Structure 1
């Protein structure tokens, strides 16, 4: 068997996966693209193992180990994406990056401390707030008089 055929196929798979990682904005599609890249590497491992006629079949054993690790990785990745989707309502990578930079949802660039801008003075209290509140009985007495 020629090594060129599976190697070219592996390169094509890897390039498609790389394009998916770089171009896609949905986190699930990015995870699928990473899996495609890992499968391209697995194809290379098996192809070189067959081409070298290794008696121990170490390439195939490493491929099985890689598949097991990739399955665990995709399970954890999908669980994280599902939790983020339930919490934030989106699985877009750009939106998740924005929430990582501004976790409170405030991306106007102002540095706030407890909702109060640090560079603005507090507003002057108004006179109506300064006067004591009249009781309901005194208000009724004034209304009847």
Structure 2
């Protein structure tokens, strides 16, 4: 059985929609928001790799490596800020973060 490009694109779009639903339904938990954002970036990376293999080009895979590197740095910095904020305030609830507004 031959797996076509539409099957891979369907998986990627499904992952993207799951992450989009996770962002809209979990607005109170910052960690779940970060996880949903990472899942969204991974769905986009999957599409880059799919089209890169389909078009027999290597640039999509190189772009995926750069996006994964930036996403890992963003997650590390975001989680470090959450740990510092939790130690200072005792909660990471989105409703309590409004005191950070200038």
Normalising by the residue count of structure 2, what TM-score does the alignment of the two structures yield? 0.89
Structure 1 residue 94 displacement after superposition? 2.1
Dislocated runs of 4+, deviation >4 Å: none
RMSD after superposition: 1.4
Q: CA deviation at 1:33?
A: 0.6
Paired residue secondary structure (1:84):
helix
Alignment-derived partner of residue 44 in structure 1: 47
Give the paired residue count: 99
Map 1:1-145 → 2, pairs under 5 A:
1-24=3-26, 25-54=28-57, 57-97=58-98, 99-101=99-101
- SS of 2:13's equivalent? helix
Counterpart Cα distance in 1 of 2:78 and 2:19: 16
TM-score (norm 1): 0.64
Gap regions ≥5 residues in structure 2: none
SS at match of 1:90: coil
Which has the higher Rg, Structure 1 or Structure 2?
A: 1
Give the deviation of 1:13 after TM superposition: 0.7
Residue ranges of structure 1 left out of the alignment (5+ in a row) = 104-145
Structure number having the greater helix percentage: 2
Identify which of structures 1 and 2 has the higher relative contact order when contacts are C-alpha pairs closer than 8 Å and 6+ apart.
Answer: 2
